[in-house]
């Protein structure tokens, strides 16, 4: 029967879904120490970027290989971004309570905070795809989102959907959505964003992806 053909569309789809669930659970469990989130995001994107190009066969092996090889740089980037994020969010909240002449300062922090969010969506896919030092990755993670702003906005929307659904869907719908997030929340959004990175953004910088 074609339904059970290992090369058929159904089997391929189910295999990919299994891989996404497995990666999502690995990501959740191994990110509990918090310090490992950067390396895990890099490993996640390393696999999903290959999935988009149909180059991935051994998900577990690729995930852990990327985790180990990128751990140092990804962790440095994660710590830097986390510290900057905490500082910006704290300043944004404090300036909002002060009002008056601090209102312009709050708007300015809001703009910088938005740039930080855009950069955060790029930094780990860039670390996963390109063999550059921390400084170069961080610089490109600021410049590329601005250069590809329409696609960046779409990536931000993709990443925001799980968060919005988790907080705003009520009752049974919210519980079901939370269960789906537990299964494929991070890996699914990474795969969706990877389609944009591979097909719309990275071809400008890597000839073989054009």
Rounded to an integer, what is the distance from CA 96 to the centroid of its chain?
A: 29
In tens, the pLDDT along 2-20 reads: 555 556 577 777 888 899 9
pTM, whole model, 2 decimals?
Answer: 0.90
pLDDT band at 192, cuts 50/70/90?
Answer: very high
DSSP assignments along 108-119, one per residue: HHHHHHHHHHHH
Q: At a CB cut-off of 8 Å and minimum separation 6, what does 178 contact? A: 166
Taking alpha carbons only, the member of 116, 126, 108, 117 closest to residue 156 is: 117
The helix/strand/coil state of 10 is helix
In tens, the pLDDT along 139-167 reads: 999 999 999 999 999 999 999 998 888 78
In tens, the pLDDT along 89-105 reads: 998 888 877 766 667 78
């Amino acid at each position: 029967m074609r339904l059970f053909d290992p090369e058929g569309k159904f089997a391929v789809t189910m295999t990919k879904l299994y891989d996404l669930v497995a990666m999502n659970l690995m990501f959740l469990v191994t990110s509990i120490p918090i310090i490992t989130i950067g390396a895990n995001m890099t490993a996640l994107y390393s696999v999903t970027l290959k999935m988009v190009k149909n180059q991935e066969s051994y998900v577990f092996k690729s995930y852990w290989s990327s985790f180990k090889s990128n751990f140092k740089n990804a962790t440095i980037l994660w710590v830097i971004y986390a510290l900057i994020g905490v500082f910006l969010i704290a300043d944004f909240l404090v300036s909002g309570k002060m009002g008056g002449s601090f209102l312009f300062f709050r708007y300015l922090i809001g703009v910088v905070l938005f740039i930080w969010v855009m950069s955060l969506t790029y930094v780990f896919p860039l670390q996963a795809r390109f063999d550059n030092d921390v400084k170069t990755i961080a610089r490109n993670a600021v410049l590329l989102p601005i250069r590809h702003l329409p696609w960046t906005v779409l990536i931000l929307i993709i990443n925001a959907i799980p968060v919005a659904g988790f907080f705003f869907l009520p009752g049974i719908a919210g519980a079901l959505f939370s269960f789906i997030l537990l299964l494929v929340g991070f890996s699914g959004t990474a795969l969706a964003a990877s389609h944009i990175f591979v097909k719309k953004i990275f071809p400008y910088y890597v000839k073989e992806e054009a």
